[in-house]
Structure 1
């Protein structure tokens, strides 16, 4: 199902699919707005955002980023993307982690399979 909320002016806001909503430090965060913000960076070709389990916050925002051809992953680029998101969105919405990957897992209809990215993170946590 979908998740949303009604604000103090009685407007209804769509947050995202229930499976995709990230609960972090008491905030309910939809990945769509974060992904849109990251995609505005010229080095980014594709992105998917998930909640990564975190002992302190419940989850943190993590972005999996596919870079545009010719772009090279670096700490400087990671920080530039984080800064760009913080400039556009609330402090709790920026991705605390960014992982550069070659491709995103997709459905046959071209939608990102976030469940595979969440499972990858859970496997990594189980191994650490």
Structure 2
């Protein structure tokens, strides 16, 4: 874009999907600045943000709580969890932009809270320095051999592979492990799929993440199902994986 247009951008921000190292590098090269990340929901928007002018961007981190919000990682009962623990991203009321409730649905409103904590339904983790990372929607989290595995970190790792253009990770039902990690990937133009590449991709993840996070199955697709706003439709991939497990 900088070669075609006279860009005079002061800032660029992105939400909806976590940015990986490759996308951040693209922003610096093509736009001339670091893309900031932000996170929020319709019920309570702009909760977390990064700011490259204040501190360097860290791939996999959304940023810190925006001033005016009190955020924490909590369990289903609203108990605040220690740093490094996966749990529900939650925001405490009162909050200046929190919704008042779902229209004519007090039961759904009550279910959204654990005490004074609004439960976003998103799984995340906070580090010792207060930075938040998005792990996945609660229904996106994969349960395998007793581990709860978020797809985001694995997808970021896959996107670092030199042959992969796009990647999505879901849980596939498995009688022994409850679920296994299955990766659906779109290869870069000119890269042929094959068993050798599957093994290389598995080794790539296993050598960089925990042993239980590597994809036991890898499928090659021409394209991933996406919404009009660019979000991966994981529900469609989960259904595909479930149908495969059922032999359909």
Please give the TM-score of this superposition, normalised by the length of structure 1.
0.90
Residue 83 in structure 1 maps to residue 200 in structure 2? no
Aligned with residue 61 of structure 1, among 160, 166, 181: 181
Is 1:43 equivalent to 2:173 in the alignment?
A: no
Aligned partner of 1:71 among 188, 191, 195: 191
1:65 & 1:25 partners in 2: Cα distance? 24
Match of 2:227 among 107, 110, 128: 107
Q: Deviations over 1:70-119 (max 9, x none)?
A: 00001111111110101110000000000011110000101100000111
- Higher share in helix: 1
1:127 aligns with 2:247: yes
Quote the residue 2:216 is aligned against. 96
Q: CA deviation at 1:122?
A: 1.9
Task: Tell me the CA shift for residue 13 of structure 1.
Answer: 6.1
Task: Give structure 2 stretches of 5+ with no counterpart.
Answer: 1-120
What SS does the corresponding residue of 2:246 show, helix, strand or coil? helix
Moved over 4 A (4+): 11-14
1:20 aligns with 2:132: no
CA distance in 2, matches of 1:14, 1:116: 21
Q: Secondary structure at the match of 1:66?
A: strand
> Greater RCO between the two (CA within 8 Å, min separation 6)?
1
CA contact (8 A) 2:169 2:181 kept: yes
Partner secondary structure for residue 241 of structure 2 = helix
Count matched residues.
127
TM-score (norm 2): 0.48
Q: Please report how far the alpha carbon of residue 14 of structure 1 lies from its aligned counterpart in structure 2 after TM superposition.
A: 4.5
| CA RMSD, 1 decimal | 1.9
Q: Can you give the 5+ residue segments of structure 1 that lack an aligned partner in the other structure?
A: none
Measured in 2, the distance between the counterparts of 1:55 and 1:108 equals 35
SS in 2 for 1:3: strand
Larger Rg over CA atoms: 2
Change (3 A) 1:126 1:39: same
Compute the displacement of 1:126 (Å): 3.1
